[in-house]
Structure 1
Amino acid sequence: MKKIYIKSVSEINKINFGILSKTIVGLFLIIAIIAIIASCSALKSLENIMKLKFKINSVSNFEVQDISVQDKAQLADFSSTDILKLLQAFSSQKLFATFILNIDVQNPNARDGSSNNLNLEIVSFPWELFFNGKNLISGNIQEPIKLVGTNYNEKLKIKITLNLFDILNNSNINELLKVALNLGGRNASTNKLSLFAQPVIGTFIGNISYPEKIKIVDYEFR
């Protein structure tokens, strides 16, 4: 007959404590590994912040004195009522145009959605708009723009209001309207536009500003 040895309570407690200690150590190791992986991913994403690239996509919602030019390709497309309203504004040398400048943002973080996890957003975007090399107007975004991290190319919309006389001073109304049509008409082109901007990106560690201004054009990402 085999002898049955009954361990003391203290010995059993020692065994249980040893098992529990190993389990706790294992859990801490798992948590540490996860934290290291997460921190590496966050650091990579922070490095990619300075790799955001911008490109002018298009101009939309172009209006002159509240008259839309999006459906117009030539001066003859303006109605007599439009011309009368424009002439009245022209006589005071205040021919105001409003439009949306659409900017594509190439976001390297969006490939794995990490920018969304980091809650990245463009908190400031001081800009200067140039037409054919001439500085027209400057401004900034009115509120932060969140980088959603779901598309590699994200969108940035800048609302702009300017006096067409700032583009071509001492010009007649036909020349000014031709500029408006070239920028926002049916056959619009943005090849004469450029934007100088210095983005400030908000992150979980604070705001990060680009070290210098970047020139944004319509033919490549920069």
Structure 2
Amino acid sequence: MKLVFKFFVITLVFVAIIACQQIKNVTHTLSNFSAPRFKIENITEFKLAGIPLATKSSINDFSPIDAVKLGQEVARNRLPASFIINIAVKNPNTGVGGSKPIPVTLKKMDWVLFIDGVQTISGKLNKEFQYPANNTVGYLPLEVSLDLFEFFGNRGYEGLINLALYLGGVKSDPSKIVIEAVPTFSTPFGDYQSPKIRINSDSFN
């Protein structure tokens, strides 16, 4: 009986040591966890009133039929646009420096879109995207649809078209786009909600 009790005590001590080490490892890993970084890479598949802009650089590049269509839309106080904002994502939890690599999954993201300094639409991304714990850059394609006239109608016909061409034309430039976001990540240790971040095309944030 004493032998059994002694074995039981030794087993408990052994289990406790292992558990303490595991807790220590998890605590160390969590203390070194960094939220993934985001940067706007480019804008693709831009359509203005259903008209693709990828091959256009000025108002003169629109066909007469397209010009009439755009004019009719603006005359009705609307100008629907749709496009994809391709966001580069880096997971910095690669295990460098002795910490454990941590793969993450973007579980959801609340976002607000700013164009040329103007707050426009907001949305919630519920599709999951996985980012492994390595040095590769992953991507997040954010699909956007909005009425440009609602937010920029005071710029007039040419101002609206030029803004659209700046964003999605031949020389597409994402510098006028900023996204405020609150992403939630799923990790091996549970969910992690990042503080609000500003995503732009200048650098990873």
Match of 2:69 in 1: 85
TM-score (norm 2): 0.80
TM-score (norm 1): 0.74
Deviation at 1:166, TM superposition (A): 3.1
Distance 2:47 2:160 in 1: 13
Deviation at 1:48, TM superposition (A): 5.2
Matched, 1:213 2:196: yes
CA 55–123 in structure 1, closer or farther in 2 if over 3 Å, else same: same
User: Which one has the largest radius of gyration?
Assistant: 1
Distance 2:63 2:21 in 1: 66
Deviation at 1:142, TM superposition (A): 3.4
- Per-residue CA deviation, residues 161-210 of structure 1 (Å, 9 max, x unaligned), is 11111331233222111000000111111222111111111123321111
Match of 1:157 in 2: 141
Match of 2:86 in 1: 102
Would you tell me which structure has more strand in proportion to its own residues?
Answer: 2
Distance 1:48 1:60 in 2: 35
Match of 1:197 in 2: 181
CA 142–124 in structure 1, closer or farther in 2 if over 3 Å, else same: closer
Deviation at 1:36, TM superposition (A): 4.8
- Per-residue CA deviation, residues 41-80 of structure 1 (Å, 9 max, x unaligned), is x655544543321111111111111111011111111111
Which is further off, 188-197 or 168-177? 168-177
Identity rate, percent: 29
Q: Contact conserved, 1:72 with 1:186, CA < 8 A, in 2? A: yes
Match of 2:35 in 1: 51
Distance 2:27 2:40 in 1: 29
Match of 1:16 in 2: none
Gaps of 5+ in 1: 1-20
Which of 42, 61, 86 pairs up with 2:45?
61
Distance 1:114 1:38 in 2: 16
Which is further off, 91-100 or 151-160? 151-160
- Per-residue CA deviation, residues 88-108 of structure 1 (Å, 9 max, x unaligned), is 222221211101111111211
Gaps of 5+ in 2: 1-6
Q: What root-mean-square deviation, in Å, do the aligned CA atoms of Structure 1 and Structure 2 show?
A: 2.8
Structure 2 letter corresponding to 1:63? K
Q: Contact conserved, 1:54 with 1:106, CA < 8 A, in 2? A: yes
Distance 2:77 2:141 in 1: 28
Matched, 1:140 2:124: yes
Structure 2 letter corresponding to 1:129? L
Structure 1 letter corresponding to 2:202? Y
Distance 2:109 2:137 in 1: 17
CA 129–178 in structure 1, closer or farther in 2 if over 3 Å, else same: same
Match of 2:160 in 1: 176
CA 93–114 in structure 1, closer or farther in 2 if over 3 Å, else same: same
